[in-house]
Structures are given as C-alpha cells and as structure tokens.
Chains A and B, each alone.
Chain A
Amino acid sequence: MGSGDQGMANPSCPLQAPIPRRGFVKLLLGGGFLATAAAFLYPVLRYFIPPPVANLGVDEVVAAKVGELKPNSGMIFRFGSRPGLLILEANGTYRALSASCTHLGCTVQYRPDLREIWCPCHNGIYNLNGGNVSGPPPKPLTVFNVHVRGDEIFVSRNGEA
C-alpha cells in the first residue's frame, strides 16, 4: 500500500502514476482465486486419503484346530486383516509367523521339501524362526506365539500373551 500513497500524492498526473487501485484489485482478485482454488483443492486432497480401517485390534486368534495340519506342513490363517502362517513341524512343534513377505508383501508359504518358508514372488527364503536367509527380503518375518488350549491352536502377538 506504500506505492498507493505515492500515487495519491500526484493528483495532477493520475495516468502516469502507478495504479495502486488496480494493483489492489489484482491482489484481491488473485488472492480470491487462490483462496477459492485452495478451498476446492483441500477437500479433494483429503478425499483421496482413505479413512482408517477400524483397527480390528486383534491380538489373539484361533488359527486352526489340532489335527487340521499334517506334520511338516503349513497353512495360512487370518490374523486380523493380515495373513499369518501356521506351521506344524515334523517333530510336532507349532510355529506361527506373519505371512506377509517383508520384501514386497506377497503371501509366503511353507515348503515341506526345503523345510523353510518361501515367497514365490521374488524367490525369498526364510528359516522357521522367520530369519531372512536368502533372496531379496530385507527383514525377518514377525514371529507370533502359539498356544494349544484344548483342541484349538491360539496365535498371539509377542509381548501380549
């Protein structure tokens, strides 16, 4: 608005003076347009982001019944909204891990022939403790706790049970 004062100070030659009113109107219009655009864009941008899925807060699930799994085999179970892998080793020990490959999120499987966990997407291999043994996986699989109560096999997150 400083230049506006100058313009007003020279009333004898209004055309040569800077046009403060025009500048002001431009600012108002431009600002108005920007504000309108922002008012349109902001809700749209927020709309892009999906609302958080109600976290099922699952800390423990019944993964399977005793006898459902043969020794030296594995199966996928639902752990909340993510897949888990339950393995019955040949010696009768149950193991449960996250089934989402730490590489790019494919669902892994137990390989009875290798006695290891295998991701077919990029040939990643984990040992039965979840350790990433070979291939591209950068991190080990999360290991869950397994409890057998009655004829049900319970799987829970570490530290919760």
Chain B
Amino acid sequence: MVATIIRWLDERLDLDGILAPFRHKTVPTHKLTYWYFFGGITLFLFVIQVLTGILLLLYYRPGADEAFESVQYIMTRVQFGWLIRSIHSWSANLMIFTAFAHMFSVLFLKAYRKPRELTWVTGMLLLFLVMGFGFSGYLLPWNKLAFFATTVGTQMAGEIPFIGHPIMIFLRGGPQVTGATLTRFFGFHVAVLPGLVVVLISIHLFLVQRQGMSVPPKLEAKRAENPSLRREMKFFPNFMLRELMAWYVAIGTLGALAALFPWNLGVKADPFASAPAGIKPEWYFLFMYQTLKLIPAKVWFVEGEVLGIVGCTLIALFWLLLPFFESDRPTRTKAWITGLGMFALAYVIGMTAYGYLAK
C-alpha cells in the first residue's frame, strides 16, 4: 500500500531527484563535530515552540482583563494545560540557550568565514528575532514581573536618540504599557515574528545545504595540503541519526524540566502598583540589564541610559557584520576576533552571574 503510493508519487515528482542532494551531502568529522548539533537542536526546539504555541492559542485570550485569567485557566483547568505551557516556557529558554551556544560555536570554529557570511548574518538576525520572541512572549501572561519588564524594555527603546520615541509608541500602542501593548505583543509573537523567522530559517538552511559544513581553518588548511586526511560522514542517515539522538536528549531534558519545575504564573499585573522588590529580567537579558545598572546617570554630558543603549545597538550591529572583518584566507584568520569572542562570552557569563547574585 505505502509502496504503491510512493511509486505513484515518484512517477510524477521524481522523488529521487528531490532527495539526491541530501544523499550526497556529507558532514566533515573531527573532534569538534558535536558542536554542529546545536543549530539542529535549536531548530527542533523551535518546532516544539510552534506546536505548543498553537495548542496554547486554543485557550489563550489576549487582553488586559482576560490574559492572566486565561493562562490561569490553562494551567489549572485544562487537562495537561500546565504541561503544555510549562513546555512552551522551558523550550523557549532552552532554545535561547542553544541559539547562543550555536552562535558562539560558529564564532570559535570560525565557520562564518567566506563564503558563509550570509549564513552568519541570517543566523544573527534569527538570534535577534528569538530574543524578540522571548520579550514579546514574556508579557502575554500579563503578570506583574512581565508588566514592569515590558515597561523598562520599551522605555529603553524610547531612549534611542531621535527615532526612539516613535518606536516606543509603536511598540506600546500608546504612551504607556496597557492592554493595547498586550494586543500588539500578541500579534508580534504569534504572527509577525513567526513569519519572519520561517523566511529566515529557510534562507539559513538553504545556505547551509548549498555550501556544506565548514571545517575549522587550521584543519581545512591541513586537509587541503593532504587530502587523504579528509574524514566525513554521510548526512543521511549517519549524521541525521546522531542529530535525532541529540533531539531525543533535548526532548527528555525538556520534559523533565517542564514536569519537575512547572513554570510559574506569578501575580496579575496592576499598572497602579509599585514594582516589586527584587525585580529582574529573564536571564538572557540579565547581562544587558546589569551593564545598564552599572552605568552612572551621567557620563560626561551624555545620559548614561542613552550611552548604554546606543552602545548595545552598535555592538549588536558590529556582531551582525563580524564576518566582514575576517580574512578570506584560512591560513590568515584574525586572532583578535576569537579573542573578542572569548571576551564577549566571559563578559556575558560574568555579568549574568553578577546580575543573578546582585541585590
């Protein structure tokens, strides 16, 4: 039966022709091969986000009067609602983590070099979008922490000179964070961002497929000199099966975290209440938060806040364009980029820990 259907499709679509590129695709093997898995795990977690997100949409209601109650309803009344929501939250956090791990592994393996500059650029844009997902999704349960996180985050956008204020109004749907903001963030989270992400993932994967996997420059030079040193495995089925194992580990971790540490809902947002003591953003914004906290109110004649935000924007832009600062030749790669990457990683980890421990 199945064979008949496949034969029927094959006659019309030439399935072999479609699958041929995947049959020929190989993945270079070396002792750092396992870092290649992080992109795939991120993609897998994204698929989980889409699926659990659609499930949450069955009961979630955007709106200042309903959002908190509907999430409460999902978590307390809907069968397995707590699990679906918990998986959505945990998977989001893990996805941001694996996306960062993917970015840093690509950075240290120097996989962004020519000809893969565009893969890096689309990847960085995806990382920004993923953080946008985190920021917009965080508000949707309409709890107190999210309310103030959104107030602060959108106000930060408002500090950008000249264009900041209109951006803030656009994000908030008014001068303050209200139900209008929730409606907008809901739209961004379930329609705008997914659309953009799907387009970018398609380009990103197409480029990876088209150009194949990168080999670290030193190894590439060695292998170019002596082709007999080349080691690779077939993408299908060898690498795919290993990737599947990684996904299995990911889903196991996710299930355990979601079941053992269900995500909290917190207290309903009240625009006319003080911000709670000890308020902090999600861990992936903590390093930026802590940096901004340390900048004094005025540096020379510039407001500290403006300095911090403009600085962050410029660094993000520089990071996006990083491959264009790299040498074209694998034997002449720039050591300062690796150094900068190490510093960035140490800074992010250090500031996150500091932000976590600081009062």
Contact = CB atoms under 8 A, between A and B. Distances in A.
A53 interface: yes
Interface in B155-190: 155-156, 159, 166, 169-170, 172-176, 180
A77 B271 CA distance: 10
A76 interface: yes
Contacts of A50: 169, 172-174, 180
B47 interface: no
A45 B73 CA distance: 36
User: For this complex, into which size category does the number of interface residues on chain A fall?
Assistant: 20 to 34
A85 B305 CA distance: 24
Contacts of B148: 106-107, 121
Contact of A105 (B152, B170, B173, B303): B152
A146 interface: no
A100 to B, nearest CB: 9
Nearest to B149: A121
Given A104-B155, A105-B152, A136 B275 contact: no
A78 interface: yes
B292 interface: yes
Interface string B263-285: 00000000111111111000000
Contacts of A99: 274
Interface stretch (B213-221, B240-248, B294-302, B324-332): B294-302
Contacts of B223: none
Interface string B252-268: 00000000000000000
A109 B274 contact: yes
A136 B274 contact: no
B293 interface: yes
A42 interface: no
Contacts of A136: 292-293, 295-297, 304-305
> Which of A48, A76, A136 has the most chain B CB atoms closer than 10 A to its own CB?
A136
Nearest to B175: A53
Contacts of B52: none
Contacts of B166: 49
A105 B279 CA distance: 14
B151 interface: yes
> Which of A76, A83, A107, A137 has the most chain B CB atoms closer than 10 A to its own CB?
A107
Given A106-B151, A136-B295, A138-B305, A81 B278 contact: no
A137 B155 CA distance: 13
A123 interface: yes
A22 B303 CA distance: 56
Contacts of A122: 152, 292-293
B157 to A, nearest CB: 10
A81 B275 contact: no
Interface in A118-148: 119-123, 132, 135-138
A108 interface: yes
A157 interface: no
B298 A120 contact: no
A115 interface: no
Given A50-B169, A121-B279, A136-B304, A107 B297 contact: no
Contact of B272 (A76, A104, A119, A138): A76
B170 A49 contact: yes
Interface string A92-115: 000000010001111111000000
Pick the 9 closest A-B CB pairs, nearest first: A109-B274, A106-B275, A104-B155, A105-B155, A104-B152, A50-B173, A120-B277, A138-B297, A107-B274
17 contacts: A48-B170, A50-B172, A50-B174, A53-B175, A103-B297, A104-B151, A105-B152, A106-B152, A107-B273, A107-B274, A108-B275, A121-B279, A122-B292, A123-B359, A137-B297, A138-B298, A138-B305
Given A120-B274, A123-B359, 15 more contacts: A48-B170, A49-B169, A50-B169, A53-B174, A53-B175, A83-B272, A104-B159, A105-B151, A107-B148, A107-B273, A107-B275, A109-B275, A136-B293, A136-B297, A138-B303
